[in-house]
Every structure is written in C-alpha cells, then in structure tokens.
Amino acid sequence: MKGDYQDLVDEISALLGAPATLENRDFRLIAFGAHLSDDDLAMDPVRTRSILTRQSTADVRSWFEGFGIARATGPVRIPAAPEAGVFRGRICLPVRYRGIVQGYVWLLDQEPGLPGPGPAALDAAMEVAQRIGVLLAEEARAGADLSREFLAVLTAGRGWQQDMAVAALRVALGAGGDGLHAAVCVTPWPGEAPASVPGAAAVCVVPRRVGSGPGSAGPGTGAGAGPGPDTAGEPALAVLLRLRSTDALTPALAAVARLLPRAAEATGTDGKGAGGKGAGGGAGATAVTAATAAARGVTAGVADPVRGLAELPAAWEQAVAAARAAAAQPRLGPVAQWSAIGPYRMLASLAADPVDDPSARTLLTPANRELARTAEVFLDCAGQAGRAAAALGIHRQTLYYRLGRVEQLTGLDLDEGEDRLLLHMALKAARLT
C-alpha cells in the first residue's frame, strides 16, 4: 500500500513539476517526493518538520485549515507566511472520497511573478488525488473492520467467547493471520484511534483499566526515577504490529515511539495547548518528543512477538504490564519491552489492586519519601553499601543510619533475605500504583 501512495505522489510531482507530499487528514505524513532543488526556501521549517518527524503540530494544522482546505473540492493556494515558518506559498490538493476529506497533497507554489501550474495540469493532478482518496478510504474501512475484531479479542472473556473472537480476527486478517505479531499498549490515549499506524495490522482503543489503585507518590524519586502516574481507568491504544521476523521488532519500535507525542499533544497536560506557539514551531514552541511525552505520563509497552493469534490476549497483558512499568520506572521507557522490565513482569501480573503490606505502610507515606528511596536503591544494589551510598551521593554512615530508621519503621531485618525480598517487592509494587 505504501508503494502505491509513493507512485501516485511521484505522478503528481511529475505533472506539476514540483515535489509533492501526501498527508492524511490528521496531517501525518504518508509519502513525499524527492527534493532536487538547491533553493533554501524549498525546505522551510514547516515542511522540514513534517518530513523529519512524519507529522505536523496542531498549530500548523489549525493554520492551514483556516484557508478552508477541509471544505475545498479543488486546489487551494496558500500564501507564504515567514513569521509562521512558511517561507514559500503552498498549493493544497484536497484528497476526497465520496465527498469526505481523506488527506491532502501539498506542493510548493512558484515564487511571486513566476508562472505556476496551469489549469489543465492541476485538473490532471486532482484526478490522481481522487485515486489516492479511494486508497485511503479503503484502508480506513479495512482498519475499522479490524478494529472491531481486534477489540473483541482483547476484551472477550476467557473460553469460547475468546476463541470465537480470535477466529473472527484470523478470518479478517486473511493469510497474515498466522504470521508473527507483537502487541503494543500506549496509555493514556485520548480520543479515537489513528486511521493508520505504519506496520500495523490492526489498531483500536481499549476503554479499560491499565493501571490500578489510587494515586500514590510511590517510593520516592530513586536513582533517576520518579513516581509513576496514576493511570487507573485511562483508555489505551492497542496496536497489532505485523512482523516479518523477530529482528523486525526493533525498527517497528520507532513507529510506536512516534505515537507518544500525538497522545501527549492531544492530552495537553502541560497547559500550553497541543502545539506551542507559531505554525512553524519557532521560538517559544513546545516540541513534543517521545521523551517529553513520557514525562507527561504517556508511555508504551511492547509484548514479546507471538506467532498466531491464540496467544494474543496474553501478549496484550504483557504490553499493558510493560506500559505500566515504563510509567513507574522512567529508565525503562518511554517505550518498554516486556522482556526488559525485570521484576515488573511478575509484579504487574499480581492482583490488580495494590498490595498494602502493613510492614511497608508507614515507610511509603510522604513523610518518609527519602527513607523509601534509600531502601529501594540499597536493595537495587543487592545490599552493597558502597554502591548504594555512591548512587545516593551520601556517606556510608548516613546510609547505615537511614537503613536503621527503615528497620524501625517496618519491623523488618534487612540482614534477612526474606525480609529484604518483601520490602523490595512492596517498594516496586508501589511504583505501579
């Protein structure tokens, strides 16, 4: 399908004598023509960001939509606006199917005073845009059908209901149903599922509980970590990645990482809106990356690849666990693989409600945040005082004093292996709430 889009974009570029780009109606890049010009104005900030990040900011979208492109049925000329990062005027060809906009083809217009594409060339380009519209509509329709089947597999109860849902999804996927797949969870996910995700066989929004328990400060801000946000009740985006081999999972993670900024922009948790200032993302703009999205509480988890769909429900639980672990322990994220989350593989599979062990209850109060952090780092360092003191940046005697206070508050003996295990599990489990 991607090759079809590229061929059609290249055809429009040849007809109009200018490099074209194709974006879907959410302003996410699908294909673009080669830029052979040495003209610096041919790659202004807006066009550069669209190609490099494969998406445009919400402010860019709002600015261009202000020229009526969502309602237009023919080419729309948009003047240059250097103050917005648009150094060269644009020609927008709306891509429609049965009257509904599916996307946009963008071309750089000629400089003022120079002749641009004539009416005949533009008419021919619009005919190609209509063919693109058919492809986009068919892809969206197929994705919607698979969304229903995919969601049914993830939410069906165990037993015959789940078996029927898996069978229906296998039929919908056709020959690819028995291939290699990986489940992905992105949470929280506001709004509807994207029309398409590169490399995805199916996408849906799961209105389910992906976290648990009331908001908690967790065990403090241990060695580069912070408390995980409360994700209870948040919807999640589920993605079924189609893989050719297990080695193909690594490049597929790049597509997953690109979903995080979109979720963060839509959530707008920083209070500055979705795209910062200026259509071009210039001075003062807020550039949302996967890292900043994770800082706002948006994370993703990726399950181990599975062959066939019977293991898909279990793979989804792995993906959910990995997303929760990424939120609980930033060093694992922003996109965490289930195989790499260590003890959280077991902790996340325990009871959905947080474990409230009485021995750790007092230690996990805000007043004892620093003591909890000290205990966690000490246990992470396998009880090696020298390593723990260095990681905490404190003197070894200070470490011993704090550990003594931990023992007083918990009633546990940190020289005993089982007591250490209990406290370590309680501290890690608290991060998941």
CB of 59 closer than 8 Å to CB of 272: no
pLDDT digit string, tens, across residues 171-210: 888 777 888 999 999 988 887 888 667 778 889 999 865 4
Residues 218-263: tens digit of each pLDDT: 344 333 333 333 344 578 999 999 888 877 787 778 878 888 887 7
pLDDT at 371 over 90: yes
CA atoms of 414 and 406, how far apart (whole Å): 9
Residues 110-128 have pLDDT tens digits of 766 667 788 999 999 999 9
| 201: nearest Cα among 177, 185, 218 | 177
Q: What pLDDT does residue 85 have?
A: 67
Alpha-carbon separation of residue 344 from 12, 319, 350, 426 (angstroms): 51, 12, 10, 12
CATH class of 358-431: mainly alpha
- When pLDDT is averaged across residues 359-383 and rounded to a whole number, the result is 91
Q: What is the pLDDT of residues 90-112, one digit of tens each?
A: 899 999 988 888 899 999 877 66
Model confidence band, residue 377 (pLDDT cutoffs 50, 70, 90): very high
User: Using an 8 Å Cβ cutoff, are 343 and 321 in contact?
Assistant: no
In the prediction, which pLDDT does 191 show? 78
Helix (H, G, I), strand (E, B) or coil at 225: coil
Can you give the pLDDT at residue 105? 94
pLDDT digits (tens, 9 = 90+) for 23-68: 988 888 888 776 555 554 455 556 666 655 556 667 778 888 899 9
Q: What is the mean pLDDT of the chain?
A: 78
Token pair listed for 383: 């009880």
Q: Which fold has domain 2-140?
A: Beta-Lactamase (3.30.450)
Residue 213 has pLDDT above 50, yes or no: no
Burial 343-379 (b: 16+ CB within 10 A, else e): ebeebbeeeeebeebeebeebbeeebbebbbbbbbbb
- Return the minimum-mean-pLDDT range out of 220-229, 293-302, 387-396: 220-229
Positions of CATH 3.30.450.40 in the chain = 2-140
Distance, CA of 248 to CA of 354 (rounded, Å): 36
Domain with CATH 1.10.10.2840 in the chain: 358-431
pLDDT tens figures, 264-294:
766 554 433 333 333 333 333 345 677 777 7
Above pLDDT 90, what percent of the chain?
30
